[in-house]
Amino acid sequence: MTETLNYDVVVIGGGIAGMQASLDLADMGFTVLLVEKEPSIGGKMFLLSKTFPTLDCASCISTPKMAAVSHNPLITVWTYSEVDGIFREEDGEFRVKIIKKPRFVDEAKCTGCEQCEDACPIIVSSENNFNLIGRKAAYIPFETAVPKIALIDMDHCILCGACERVCPADAIDFLQKPKTVDVRAGAIILATGFRLFPAERKKEYHFGEYKNVITAMQAERLLSPTNPYNHVLRPLDGKEPMNVAYILCVGSRDRTIGNPLCSRICCMYSIKQAELLMGALPLVDVTIYYMDIRAFGKGFEEFYQQAKEMGVRFVRGRVASIDQLDNGDLVVNYTDVENGGVFKKETHDLVVLSVGIWPNPDVAKLFKDERLELDEHGWIKQTEENIRPNATNIPGVFTAGCATGPKDIPDSIVDATSAAAECADYLRRIRNKAVGVIPVEVR
Ligand SMILES: Cc1cc2nc3c(=O)[nH]c(=O)nc-3n(C[C@H](O)[C@H](O)[C@H](O)COP(=O)(O)OP(=O)(O)OC[C@H]3O[C@@H](n4cnc5c(N)ncnc54)[C@H](O)[C@@H]3O)c2cc1C
Ligand code: SF4
Ligand code: SF4
């Protein structure tokens, strides 16, 4: 049996863009259901170290937003929930079918005390730390997770019952089942963000095989206040790296893997990480191998120049491949573009791949009665980019943040605020015209 609930807007995706759009809509008096597929809201931002070019603490910005969303009386947050289908009703409203996945923990009872996590004997790779460390089968996704409620990973649980025995709230419920809920809404905001380029596809860089070749997202974790090792260490042997290389444009501007686009943020996040590395490890050498440095935003050029002054070495070159030495150090083979295209080799003890931003094209499959248009690269198409940048080809469906293409955090926030304004305007127009009895201002 399914129940039907009503909201003005369903926002899909609880990253910084989805959170900002939800807060703005709630400020205008609309009711919002924010649906996030992961166990916590926050998206990629709450996993970052600091933000370029100001070096503000990323979690210090995202954590209050996460709290504001969860405490807003007009916003309902469903985490660990999948949208199964979006349908158009006869009256023009949407019906969104959502599956609330079982946490095997009673959300109403769990206090987030972490005792189940301590007791659980099973350790698997931690998704939020990009496999740098493990997590338990019974776990809370993150210290600052919202909601701070445990869940059990049934793919790995051995049903030993240790969590159930220690839980002081009697919250463990191995019999929980998925719950399907139908929600009606006047409009939808797609804030489904991006996925990271799967670095193993660049076989010549041996990510996943050479342990000291890591992605920039793993480097973010190593540089964050919640660093899984409490220090910057290389994964293979726990040695402090002394000579780190960054390779830019991994999975971007590369027709050999099908993505000619620039990811817009990788130059800047790599420069940021280089500066943070120098702060964390004062004796470290950092080399950035690049094609062009794209420092187009406010304060970006100054940030780039500052990195050079700090001693970050910029080498204009194409990295052809990486080889591993017996001690785990890595030989970077590259063409030195600025010095006549000479082929060179250089040894580093850690290599960071500055992976690109890729689309989540599966979002189009959510629409069952209409076809959501994507652009040629798989991003949601902005059908009226110059006049209504948040509109899609489907009336009543808007986009926010990186769902339409790579953006940094400030641009994602601005885009989300713009999406909320477009969406509010749409709701006022259709409801005043079609229904004529819902003056939004007095609700
Ligand atoms: C390594 C790295 C470093 C970065 N450093 C910086 C920096 O220093 N400064 C800066 O400004 N920017 C930085 N960025 C960019 C920043 O991460 C993005 O601007 C920001 O995360 C975009 O937010 P978003 O909400 O659009 O997308 P996301 O953060 O991707 O959030 C999207 C959310 O939607 C959810 N979702 C997706 N599909 C569904 C679905 N079908 N149903 C329900 N939920 C769904 C996802 O689980 C996720 O929570 C960095 C990015 C990377 C990769
Ligand atoms: S499930 Fe129980 S033991 Fe685990 S965090 Fe919640 S209250 Fe604590
Ligand atoms: S029952 Fe499963 S989740 Fe609970 S402690 Fe045992 S392995 Fe961990």
3-state secondary structure 334-385: EEEHHHCCEEEEEEECEEEEEECEECCHHHHHHECCCCCCECCCCCECCCCC
**Token match 């989805």: residue?**
18
Among the bound ligands, the one closest to the CA of 21: 1
The finding on whether 171 has its CB within 6 A of some atom of ligand 2 is: yes
Q: Which atom of ligand 1 is found nearest the CA of 50?
A: 8
Contact 135, 123 (CB under 8 A): yes
| Distance from residue 399's CA to the centre of ligand 1 (Å) | 14
- What domain range is 37 assigned to? 3-101+178-194+359-442
Instruction: Report residue 84: phi and psi, to 5°.
Output: -95, -25
- What atom in ligand 1 is closest to the CA of residue 16? 25
Q: Is the CB of 206 under 6 A from ligand 1?
A: no
Alpha carbons 285 and 348: distance in angstroms, whole number: 9
pLDDT at position 442 is 40
Label residue 436 by pLDDT band (50, 70, 90).
Answer: very low
- Residue 215: CB partners within 8 Å, gap ≥ 6? 130, 196, 199, 207, 352, 353, 355
pLDDT value at residue 361: 86
CA 158–ligand 3 middle distance (angstroms): 6
409 lines ligand 1 (CB under 6 A): yes
Q: Are residues 247 and 320 in the same domain?
A: yes
13 CB within 6 A, ligand 1:
yes
- What total of structural domains would you count in the chain? 3
CATH assignment at residue 305: 3.50.50.60
Tell me what the pLDDT averaged over the chain comes to: 94
pLDDT tens-digit map of 311-349: 999 999 999 999 999 999 999 999 999 888 899 999 999
The answer, yes or no, to whether residue 433 has pLDDT greater than 70, is: no
CA of 158 to the centre of ligand 2 (A): 18
pLDDT score of 214: 98
- Return d(Cα 419, Cα 390) in angstroms, integer: 5
pLDDT above 50 for 438 = no
Q: How far apart are CA 58 and CA 331, in angstroms?
A: 33
Whether 192 shows a pLDDT value over 70: the answer reads yes
For 392-399, what is the mean pLDDT?
Answer: 98
The amino acid occupying position 54 is: T
Residue 433 and residue 318 in one domain: no
Tell me the pLDDT tens digit for each residue of 201-251: 999 999 999 999 999 999 999 999 989 999 999 999 999 999 999 999 999
In the predicted structure, residue 441 carries a pLDDT above the cut 60: no
Whichever domain contains 149, its CATH number is 3.30.70.20
pLDDT of residue 440: 45
Q: From CA 408, how far away is CA 263, in angstroms rounded?
A: 10
Helix (H) or strand (E) holding 12: strand 3-12
Query: From the CA of 407, how far away is ligand 1's center (Å)?
Result: 9
330 and 227 both lie in a single domain = yes
Q: Which residues line ligand 3 at a C-beta cut-off of 6 Å? A: 119-120, 122, 137-138, 152, 157-163
Least confident piece of the model among 231-245, 354-368, 428-442? 428-442
Instruction: Pick from 103, 104, 153, 172 the residue to mutate for probing ligand 2's pocket: most ligand atoms within 8 Å of its CB.
Output: 172
Burial class, 307, CB count within 10 angstroms (exposed 0-12 / middle 13-18 / buried 19+): buried
Peptide bond into 241 cis (omega under 30): no
Cα 57 to Cα 17, 51, 75, 306, 310: the distances in Å are 18, 7, 26, 19, 20
Pair 425, 413 in one domain: yes
pLDDT exceeds 70 at position 83: yes
> Tell me: the pLDDT tens digits for 114-166?
999 999 999 999 999 999 999 999 999 998 999 999 999 999 999 999 999 99
The answer on 295 and 345 residing in a single domain is yes
pLDDT tens for 37-64 read 999 999 999 899 999 999 999 999 999 9
User: Do both 65 and 190 map to the same domain?
Assistant: yes
Last residue of a domain, one of 327, 357, 387: 357
Cβ 145 under 6 angstroms from ligand 2: no
What is the model's pTM? 0.95
Q: Which helix H or strand E contains 214, and what residues bound it?
A: strand 213-215
**Centre of ligand 3 from the C-alpha of residue 393, in Å:** 46
Give the per-residue pLDDT at 338. 87
User: What's the average model confidence in pLDDT over 398-414?
Assistant: 97
Same domain, 79 and 128: no
Residue 30 backbone phi and psi in degrees, to 5: -90, 150
Q: How confident is the model at residue 1 (pLDDT cuts 50, 70, 90)?
A: low
- Assess whether the C-beta atom of 214 lies below 6 angstroms from ligand 1: no
Q: Which atom of ligand 1 is nearest to the CA of 272?
A: 8
Does ligand 2 lie within 6 Å of residue 162's CB atom? no
Same domain as 201, residue 67: no
Q: Are residues 42 and 187 in the same domain?
A: yes
Confidence class of residue 22 from pLDDT cuts 50, 70 and 90? very high
**Which single residue is written with the structure tokens 């670095």?**
199
Q: Among 187-196, 290-299, 409-418, which is the least confidently predicted range?
A: 290-299
331 & 386 share domain: no
Alpha carbon 62 to its chain centroid, in Å, reads: 12
The CA distances from residue 426 to 20, 26, 85, 390, 399, in Å, are 18, 15, 22, 12, 13
Cα 291 to Cα 123, 237, 310, 319, 337, distances in angstroms: 40, 31, 21, 10, 9
Residue pair 419/390 in contact by the 8 Å Cβ criterion: yes
Q: What is the pLDDT of residues 2-11, one digit of tens each?
A: 567 999 999 9
b/e per residue 275-284 (b: at least 16 CB within 10 A): bbbbebbeeb
Question: Which ligand 3 atom minimizes the distance to the CA of 120?
Answer: 5
Same-domain pairing of 229 and 345: yes
Q: How far is the CA of 147 from the centre of ligand 3 (A)?
A: 21
**Does 220 share its domain with 256?**
yes
Q: Whose CA is nearest to atom 5 of ligand 3?
A: 120
Domain end among 340, 357, 374: 357
Nearest ligand for residue 138 CA? 3
Q: Which of 295, 327, 357 is the last residue of a domain?
A: 357
State the pLDDT at residue 3.
Answer: 60
pLDDT higher for 440 or 413? 413
Res 2: pLDDT: 54
Contact by Cβ (8 Å): 105, 386: no
Kindly state the average pLDDT of the residues 80-87.
98
